[in-house]
């Protein structure tokens, strides 16, 4: 890991993913979590303040970027919920089938190397009655924006930890075996290339 990835990129991601519009989007999704929760891409723990300790029993946060977890541990110490953080991707936790009541995934699917494989593993880990809560940026519906997303993604990825601007979030969720129960879409404030948001839940 080079110095940029170790020291600069984590702070940039924490800053970019902690802006007002992004945090407001998180605040609409994360409080729906119940029971035993698996958070995919916990990163620096920006979601942690939004969990309801009256509804959530425990949180397991997975993220292969171990350098992000110092901030996450500080945020975990400030909430009244047991939080375990594991520096692996979702395939690396080796949890039993149907282990979790809720899986939370926010601003993460864009940078997972194999999103279909990861989503299929999430489906295995989720209880039959459980929900996948998601809030992700992705492919915009406007043709002019979409063209630029496709053009710039190869240049964007190396600077942003593998982030894709052009992933079709609902299509990935559906093809992996989930059924989307609720979906909201729209642009946040900021550059349209990276601010078209898909949020909701699937089972």
Q: For the segment 30-65, what is each residue's pLDDT rounded down to a tens digit? A: 999 999 999 999 999 999 999 999 999 999 999 987
The whole-number average pLDDT for the span 158-169 is 93
Identify the band that residue 116 occupies on the pLDDT scale cut at 50, 70 and 90.
very high
| pLDDT, position 50 | 97
Handedness of CA 119, 125, 127, 133 (dihedral sign): negative
Cα 125 to Cα 94: distance, rounded to the nearest angstrom: 9
| pLDDT, position 4 | 59
Residue 127 has pLDDT above 90, yes or no: yes
Percentage of the chain modeled with pLDDT above 90: 76
Domain range 3-202, its CATH number among 3.40.50.150, 3.40.50.2300, 3.40.50.10420, 1.10.620.20: 3.40.50.150
Cα 20 to Cα 15: distance, rounded to the nearest angstrom: 10
Q: In the chain, where are the structural domains located?
A: 3-202
Q: Residue for token digits 């496709």? A: 150
Laid out side by side, the sheet with 56-62 consists of 82-86, 56-62, 35-40, 100-106, 126-137, 196-202, 180-187
- DSSP symbol at 89: -
The whole-number average pLDDT for the span 114-131 is 97
Cα 70 to Cα 116: distance, rounded to the nearest angstrom: 29
Task: At 12, list the tokens.
Answer: 């940039």
Q: What is the mean pLDDT of the chain?
A: 91
Identify the band that residue 12 occupies on the pLDDT scale cut at 50, 70 and 90.
low
Provide φ and ψ at 185, rounded to 5°. Answer: -135, 160
């Amino acid at each position: 890991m080079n110095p940029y990835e170790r020291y600069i990129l984590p702070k940039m991601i924490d800053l970019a993913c902690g802006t007002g519009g992004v945090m407001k989007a998180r605040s609409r999704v994360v409080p729906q979590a119940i029971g035993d929760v698996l958070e995919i891409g916990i990163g620096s723990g920006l979601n942690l303040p939004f969990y309801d300790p009256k509804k959530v029993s425990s949180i397991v946060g997975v993220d292969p970027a171990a350098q992000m977890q110092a901030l996450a541990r500080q945020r975990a110490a400030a909430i009244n919920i047991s939080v375990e953080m594991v520096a692996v991707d979702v395939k690396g936790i080796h949890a039993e089938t149907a282990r979790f009541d809720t899986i939370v995934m926010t601003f993460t699917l864009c940078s997972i190397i194999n999103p279909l494989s990861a989503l299929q593993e999430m489906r295995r880990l989720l209880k039959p009655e459980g929900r996948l809560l998601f809030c992700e940026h992705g492919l915009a519906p406007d043709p002019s924006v979409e063209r630029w997303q496709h053009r710039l993604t190869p240049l964007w990825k190396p600077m942003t930890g593998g982030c894709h601007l052009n992933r079709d979030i609902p299509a990935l969720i559906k093809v992996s075996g989930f059924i989307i129960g609720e979906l909201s879409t729209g642009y946040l404030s900021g550059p349209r290339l990276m601010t078209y948001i898909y949020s909701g839940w699937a089972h």
